[in-house]
Structure formats: C-alpha cells, structure tokens
Amino acid sequence: MVLSSRTCLFLVCGALLVTSCSSNRRARDLAYVERPVEALYNAAADEMDARDYVSAIELFNEVERQHPYSEWARRSTLMSAYASYRSRRYDDAVSTAQRYLALNPAGQGAPYAHYLIALSYFQQIVDVGRDQKTTELARDALTDVVRRYPGSDYARDAQVKIDMVRDQLAGKDMEIGRWYLRRNQHLAAVNRFKTVVDEYETTSHAPEALYRLIECYISLGVMDQAVAAASVLGYNYPDSEWYEDGYRLLDRQGLLDVAPPRVSASVE
C-alpha cells in the first residue's frame, strides 16, 4: 500500500508529538513531584551505581533545585560534575565543578572540584599534530592543584600528570621545530628547540632538541654554538643515541678538536 504524502506527514508529526509528550511528561514528573532530599539523593546515587550517568545528573540537579540550601545540594553539585566526567561530558564536568567552587570556594569538596577540572582537561589532550590549547589548560589546572593542596593525594597524582603534559607540550615544539628545519628556516627552528631545552629539559625530547640545535647552528655557520650544544648534550645525556649522532656530526665538520670539556650549561 502506498501512503500519500499527507498521510506520511501526519504519521511523522504524530510520532514527534508522542516523543515530545513523553519528554514533557518526564520533565513535569521531576518538576512537580517534590521528594525528601535523602530519597532523591539516594535515587541519584543508585543511577550512578548503575552507570546511567544521564539519569544520575538529572536527579542530582533536581536535588539542587528542590533543596538549594542544603548540604545535599552541595554534594549533588560535585556528584553531577563527577557523573559528567564519567560520561565523558568533560565541558559539563568543568562548568559544574566551577559552579561548585564559585558557591563554595572553601568547601570541603573544593580540593576534589579543582582536581576534577584538571582531570577533565587532561582527558581531552589530543596528539601533538593538533592545537594544544587544552593541553595548556590541563597543565595550568594540574599546577593549581599542586599549589593549593601540596602533599595531598590529588597533588601527587597531578604532579605525575604534569610530567606527561610537559612531555606533550615539548613534543609539539619539537614537531614545529622539525617543520622549520625541513624548510631551512633555521632561526625559527632554533627558537623552538631552545624552548624545549630551556623549559622542558626534564622531558624525553630534550636530547633530540640539543642535537637539532647542533644541526641548526652548523647550517647557520655558528660553530661555537654548535659545539656548546654538543657539550651540554654530552654532559647531560652521554648514553643517548642523539649524543652519538651529534658527535659524528661534529666530527664531519672538524670541530671535535675545539670542543670544550663537557659542562652542564644552558644553550645561549
């Protein structure tokens, strides 16, 4: 049987109306059925345990709406932020945690709220080939946790993640530096590699950054700087494959005889 376009339109509109009515009925149920705060909070917690994070968020928000000045409301704000984090709604997790902090800057849950914000940014870090704005936000938020709550479990975990974030940011500078180097834009490449050496010296990228500086300085004809970079590389990373490559590079340029003793120094 072939339905007319008018009939099809009627059926579609009817389906949309049923869906709309169902959603509105659910909203009315939450809006007009006042429940004891403990029962409402426990129902939200049950949804969390069942990993139905969307329903949990709705119920935690309802606790706040029906009982805005209670301790349960403050707990619900944090739990709503956590439920958003668990459901990978990281932007919602950040905004909800920030709302908690705006209302309870010295509240008992403040350390966790700061930590949750940092985690939410951390989970959104992308590969070094893309913009690292979120990585910078993660670094700043994690550093804030360490500064505010030194010695806490939150701070200890944040410090571990800071090291990972710094390695990520160093990797981004290395990628850009290599791009400049391939295009013979040596001064621009030097700036990127020096950033890694000066600001991210404890990351895994530092040995390569020093080697790339040797390459750049030789290409620019600044041999004393090439030798200085090699000295730092040899002193700090004597077992690195990048030092071996740098040694061979200096040898090809006849610079080994003028190389100063290995000293730990920054590259000028």
- pLDDT by residue for the chain (268 residues), tens only, comes to 444 444 443 433 444 434 444 444 444 444 546 778 888 999 999 999 999 999 999 999 999 999 888 899 999 999 999 999 999 999 999 999 999 999 999 999 999 999 999 999 999 998 887 889 999 999 999 999 999 999 999 999 999 999 999 999 999 999 999 999 999 999 999 999 999 999 999 999 999 999 999 999 999 999 999 999 999 999 999 889 999 899 889 888 888 764 444 444 444 4
Task: Answer yes or no: is 223 within a domain.
Answer: yes
Find the CATH number of the domain harbouring 260. Answer: 1.25.40.10
Residue where a domain stops, chosen among 124, 154, 178? 124
What secondary structure does DSSP assign to 134-195, as a single string? HHHHHHHHHHHHHHHSTTSHHHHHHHHHHHHHHHHHHHHHHHHHHHHHHTT-HHHHHHHHHH
Same domain, 103 and 178: no
Task: Answer yes or no: is 2 within a domain.
Answer: no
Q: What is the reported pLDDT for 35? A: 79
Same domain, 267 and 207: yes
Could you tell me the CA-to-CA distances from 131 to 71, 127, 175 in Å, in that order?
40, 8, 12
**Domains: count for the chain:** 2
Count other Cβ atoms within 10 Å, centred on residue 134: 17
Count other Cβ atoms within 10 Å, centred on residue 31: 12
Query: What is the domain extent for residue 99?
Result: 21-124
Task: Answer yes or no: is 144 within a domain.
Answer: no
Same domain, 117 and 187: no
Task: Answer yes or no: is 143 within a domain.
Answer: no
Amino acid at the residue 255: L
Same domain, 177 and 243: yes
Q: What is the reported pLDDT for 251? A: 87
The model carries a pTM of 0.77
